[in-house]
Amino acid sequence: MSITREKIIELGESLIRSKGYNAFSYQDISSELGIKNAAVHYYFPTKENLGTSIVRTNIQRFEEMTGNMNSRGFDEWHQLETFIKIYTKSHREQKLCIVGSLGPDINTLSETTQAELRKMSEIILKWLTDTLSNGREKALFSFKEEPQLKALLIISSLIASLQLARLINKIEYKSFCMAIMEDLRPQKRGDVELDK
C-alpha cells in the first residue's frame, strides 16, 4: 500500500476526531502533508470516499483488536479493560472516537459512509454485549440489566464523556472509567453503603 495514502487516512481520521467531518478540508490534509490538493483527490476522488475509507479502516482495526484478544485468551474483564483504554488514550489526545465525532454529522454524510458508520456502531455494540454476557456467565461481571442495554449504557458513557471532557476541565477521566469498571465488579456485598 502507498504510504501517502495511509498518511491521508491517518490525518483525515485525526481531523475528523478533533474538528469534525464538515470542518476539515482537503486543503488541511494537503498542506499538512506537503502535497497538493489534487494529490489527495488522486487517492480519494471524493470526500465521501475518504470518509468511508476512514470508517472502514477503523472497523478493520477494531476487529483485529478483538480477534487478537480472543486468540491470546484474554478473559472478559481484561478485554473490557483493553477496550476502555482506547478511550483513555483518546482523552489524552483531546480527541473523540470516530463514532462520537461522525455520529452527530450522520445526516450530512453520504449513504455509503452512513452505512459504514452504522455498521461500525453495531459491531462495537454487539462485541460489548457479547463480552458482558459471557463475562457475567463466568461471574466476572455483575449487573442486572439486559446485556445489550448495559452495553449501550457503557458505550454511551464512554462516547459522550470524551465530548464533555473537552468542555469541562474539572472532569477526571480516569476516575470516570474506573467507576464504569467498578460498577461491574461482582461481590458487591449487598450493595450496602458503609456509613461515613
Partner DNA sequence: TTGCGAACTTACTTAGTAGTAAGTATATTT
Partner DNA sequence: AAATATACTTACTACTAAGTAAGTTCGCAA
47 touches which of DNA, its own copies, none (CB within 5 to 8 A by kind)?
A: DNA
- Smaller CB distance to its own copies: residue 42 or 173? 173
Q: Restricting to residues 74-103, name those near its own copies by CB under 8 A.
A: 96, 99-101, 103
Out of 14, 19, 20, 39, the residue judged to bind DNA by CB under 7 A: 39
Residue 68 interaction partner, one of its own copies, DNA, none, beta carbon < 5-8 Å per kind? none
144 is in the binding site of which of its own copies, DNA, none (Cβ under 5 to 8 A by kind)?
its own copies
Binding of residue 24 to DNA (CB under 7 A): yes
Among 14, 48, 153, 171, binds DNA (CB under 7 A): 48
CA distances from 108 to 38, 102, 163 (A): 23, 9, 20
What is the binding site for DNA (CB under 7 A)?
Answer: 2, 4, 24-28, 30, 34-39, 41-42, 45-48
